[in-house]
Structures are given as C-alpha cells and as structure tokens.
Structure 1
Amino acid sequence: VSVPTRGVMWAIGDLVSSESDPMFDSSPRPAAVTSDRIDYLFDRGLHDLPDSERPDCHRLKRHSYVSVYGRMHADLPSQTITTGFGAMGRGRYVHPTERRTITPHEAARIQFFPDFFTFGDAGRTLLQKTIGNAVPPKMGYALGLHLLR
C-alpha cells in the first residue's frame, strides 16, 4: 500500500507565531554565531550548511552528519525528532521558512501529538526530552494494532 508523504509545512504550517506559552511556542534564543549560520542558509537558499561554515568540531573531522546545522525542507517529511531539536547543531532543526529552530509545539506536531495534549509545566530541557524521546502516538497506535493481531 502506497501512502503519500507529507511535508513539514503540512504539519506545522497552520501554527500562528505566538508566544502565548513562551516555553512551548518559542525557540531558544540562539548565540550570535548560530544566528549567522541560520542567516547563511536563508540568504543562499540552502538546506545544508557547508563544511566551511561549521565549527571546527564538525568541519575538521570526517563526518557523515550532513543534516547537522541543517534547515528543514518545507515539502519533505521531517527527519527524526530527537531531544536536540532546539539546537541547530544537533540536526536539521532550523525552521523551513523562519530564521530560527523549531519550537516544542512544532516538534510535537511533527511527532503527531494533538494540540490538546498537555506536557505539563516542564522546563525547556524536560519538554525537549519528553517530545524527542517519545514514540509518535500514531506509530505507537499502529504498532499496538500489529501486536494485537
């Protein structure tokens, strides 16, 4: 059975930029050098930061982490959401159309958590761990159905 893929913006495109819940609806403020790297991607229409623009720890060693310091593709599915989604250097977590990393709300949406789901009053680190370590609810449901057969 072929299932059509859905891009990142399908999941998060209708979210309005709001800081009604600053912990859930905002990104961490990046360091100046990180802002410069995000600008580099947008100013050149790139999704992968060239090695020449990466910090020494990712530039001077052989690596296979192309998506580190990457920008999400609006029309492609997201890479796996991990606990590092709030940091540009931990994966392809720069928002596809805005100069920032994705918010916990956007990460939860990509994981298919419904908007009514409450994560409690956790701080940002615990919120990122909860969302990043979660099995997406729809995947858990499908796995559960399969195991019941």
Structure 2
Amino acid sequence: CQLLIEQYNGEVPRTRTELEKLPGVGRKTASVILNTAFGEPTIAVDTHIFRVANRIGIAPGKNVLEVERKLLKVVPNEFRHDAHHWLILHGRYICKARKPLCHQCLIVDLCEFKEKNLEGTASSFDMKQLT
C-alpha cells in the first residue's frame, strides 16, 4: 500500500507492466486486476482454467502462458470478462481435478477429456453398450 501511495499517488496502475512491478503481483494477479477492476478483455489463467482449457480442448497448452494466449485467440473480446469467471467456476465445481462431475456437465458432448466420468447418467449406459 505504501508503494501505491508513494509511486502511484494512491491509484492502482492500469497497465500490466506497472502492476507486475508491485511486490507479489505476477501475471495472473495482474490479469485479474485488469479484468475485474478495469474491465480489460483479458483472461487470468489459474489452475482451474488451465485444467478446463486442456481437458475440453478449447485451448490446450503445456503452461499457463500458452493456454492464456490460445484463449485470447478463441474467446471474443466481448466474452472475455465473463469467460474468465465461467471457466474458473466450471473448473472449481464441475470439471474438478480428481473427480470431475462429467454427468452434470452441460458440454460433456463437446469435451475432449478421454477419462470422462459418466457414471450415474444415461450416457454412461449408452457408452457401456458400445464398449
């Protein structure tokens, strides 16, 4: 806070470069601030978004920066503010790391995740019939 007062007249900087100069602010935090506080069309990639983007195949990548760059290419500007939150919530509550709730997922038919958990759904019965 003292640094914000001394160097930025008490104002939070509005650029990624200036934000990342602040102690404890990395790329993800800067993206969150730009997206939520300033309405910039950017996407902060956390572990949930990284997992979802790779599982569903929307923006597969080996690291968060690669996933972020791909998401920025495929998600139109007007949806980026909300997409950031939708993807986080989807990863937190449906596409969980250990036990994804594929049977509750609205996009299960579009998902490229090879280890889908379809137990308890009509889809799981159909899938078992085919194998």
Higher helix share: 2
Scaled by the length of structure 1, the TM-score of the pair is: 0.28
Find the structure with the greater CA-based Rg: 2
Q: Larger relative contact order (C-alpha < 8 A, sep ≥ 6)? A: 1
Scaled by the length of structure 2, the TM-score of the pair is: 0.30
